[in-house]
Amino acid sequence: MNKKFWTEGPGSFAVAILIALTIRWGLMEAYVIPSGSMLPSLLINDHIFVNKFVYGLRVPFTKNWLYKNNDPERGEVIVFKYPEDPSVFYIKRVVGVPGDKVLVENGDLYINDDLIEKQVPQEKKSEYDWLLDRDFNGTLASHIHWEENLDGKNYSVLLERRREGKLHGPYYVPEDSFFVLGDNRDHSKDSREWQETNFVPRDNLVGRAMFVWLSCENKLPVIGILCTPTSLRWRRFFHGVE
């Protein structure tokens, strides 16, 4: 076969597609954040890359693992198939791993009976405020921006100022499963709310969120995955997911 077929002809196009599909299958994939359940860590219309290789490699088009790599750790932000409808992808933060006891009471998170301490960020004017004000339509005053530290990982959460004394749990995380929460704790459908199971099975894992590569306030009306150029959030570009 002519060498130019692979370097300049249709073969080069086929090779490029094969490489792209291989990367998407085994290494990383792009996703768009559709809701505010992970505010303030992830904003609506953040476009993120997800590391798929970190948890293992699957047989293409199946749930079967060729081999398993690391397991998610507490504090990691993961993308997974929603247990009640595997055609839907969710993104949440892992707070409970196999063997853990998890309790959420009045906004406080307890892991194995230990309270995960919260503190208000040191700077009164957070770097998130100018973004959150848009996403909350000016209602940020009804929420408190906290920071939690879970197993050495610092991340932000939002809680409504008015607490209702809600109790969730305790939950006991089974083998090969994970308990997840949204960072926007009072506006997230997560392990506390699901009906069929309160846990993410390991087989439902897609990957770990890495960084934001594109972000905008509005998307194009016809092509919903593309950003409106005039609404780009330049400060979010290449922002790591903590």
Residue 37 catalytic? yes
Phi, psi of 48 (to 5 degrees): -120, 155
* Catalytic residue of the set 37, 41, 156, 188: 37
* Catalytic residue of the set 41, 52, 92, 177: 92
- Share in percent of the chain as helix, strand, coil (round to 5): 20, 40, 45
Residue 92 catalytic? yes
Phi, psi of 54 (to 5 degrees): -60, -30
SS3 assignment, position 54: helix
For residues 33 and 225, give the distance between their C-alpha atoms in angstroms, rounded to a whole number.
Answer: 10
For residues 97 and 175, give the distance between their C-alpha atoms in angstroms, rounded to a whole number.
Answer: 8
Write out the catalytic residue numbers.
Answer: 37, 92
